[in-house]
Amino acid sequence: MKRIILVAAIALNTNIGNAQKAEVQSAYSYLKYEQLDKAQEAIDKAANHETTMNMEKTWYYRGLIYQSMYKNEKYAGLSANPLEEALRSFNKCLEINPKYEYAQEIAEKKVTLSKQFSDKGYDEFTKKDFATALKSFENVISLSPTDTAIYYNAAISADKAKDMAKAKQYYAKLVEMNYNDSKFYQSYAQILLSEKDTTGALKLLANGLSRFPGEKGMQIQQTNIYIQSGRTGEALQSLDGAIAKDPTNPNLYFAKGSLQEKSGKENDAVVTYKKAIEIKPDYFDANYNLGALYFNQGAKMANEANKIQDNAKYAKAKTEFEAKFNLAKPYFEKALEINPKDESTLVSLKQLYATLNDTPNYDRVKKLLDNLK
């Protein structure tokens, strides 16, 4: 009796196995006739059954079926991630048998998958779904690991998705691959700066500038790092490099003038501020700073003159400090013309005209200041 039961059990298992193999073939038949819902149901049963889950054909067909779902008008909703499932299935097939008879066809399907993932990533990026775009571009990387442009796409997507670990990983890969585009250096440097790695950021920018010596953005970023780090000498040197690349940029001259003034090189700062104003006459900051520089020089000279007891010597000193105040006047007035509601300019002009005993202009500016308040 036991022997009969055993034979019956073996026969039953054989029938089940045959049934699952039939599911594999049925899945392919459904695929041929574009009945993807039935094809999916059949192939997923086979992929999860012990008798067919280790058959390369099961996974090959599954890859074909899921890849066919992507952007299919009728069946696109059958899977949330049809391309990922297709890739997983093709990889599983070759894992089971690397020399599978349809290995070349799988290779061709993967080329198509790479393009599909890439297009999907661009679409997700355009919709600002950066985290999902990153996953799509990472799938392209797994399929086309020598495509440098995809590493760039992955890096930017990770950066915008605030996944800084992956952004750094892919930016570093671009440096390693000598990616022929300068834009990513600034983004990578900014991440390093956010992590307080000033040394790393400067080293990266130096590398970038050696490869792209005409890149103004990197030069300015390098300059700003030097300025923020209090490295005035290096900042001035970097600014000169930036000015050489962009000689008509008034902002660069203003930045240089500010640094020169800060480091005590006031005469040099005057020349540089004037250059900024020459390029952009309505540059408020340059006009105000130059006016303030002359005013402060005059104030310092006036304070020193007040210590002089000799009338003749004082008269001479007074002429000199008033000359400085008069130099400040047109630049403060121009700043006021550019921004009539700037309180600092009005206060400076009020002090200036009080010092020069210029009552009409004092009253004019005081009224403007009172109305502003």
CA distance 40 to 42: 5
Instruction: Return the residue matching tokens 């571009």.
Output: 137
User: What CATH number is given for 284-373 in this structure?
Assistant: 1.25.40
CATH 1.25.40.10 fits 1-101, yes or no: yes
CATH 1.25.40.10, the chain: domain bounds = 1-101
Structure tokens at 87: 């890739």
- The per-residue pLDDT string of the chain (373 residues; one tens digit each, 9 = 90 and over) reads 344 444 444 443 444 445 557 788 889 999 999 999 999 999 999 999 998 999 999 999 999 999 999 999 999 999 999 999 999 999 999 999 999 999 999 999 999 999 999 999 999 999 999 999 999 999 999 999 999 999 999 999 999 999 999 999 999 999 999 999 898 999 999 999 999 999 999 999 999 999 998 888 899 899 999 999 989 999 999 999 989 989 999 999 999 999 999 999 999 999 999 999 999 999 999 999 999 999 999 999 999 998 988 889 989 999 999 999 999 999 999 999 999 999 999 999 999 999 999 999 999 999 999 998 7
* pTM as predicted: 0.75
C-beta of residue 137 within 8 angstroms of C-beta of residue 157: yes
C-beta of residue 106 within 8 angstroms of C-beta of residue 87: no
Burial 46-60 (b: 16+ CB within 10 A, else e): bbebebbeebbbbbb
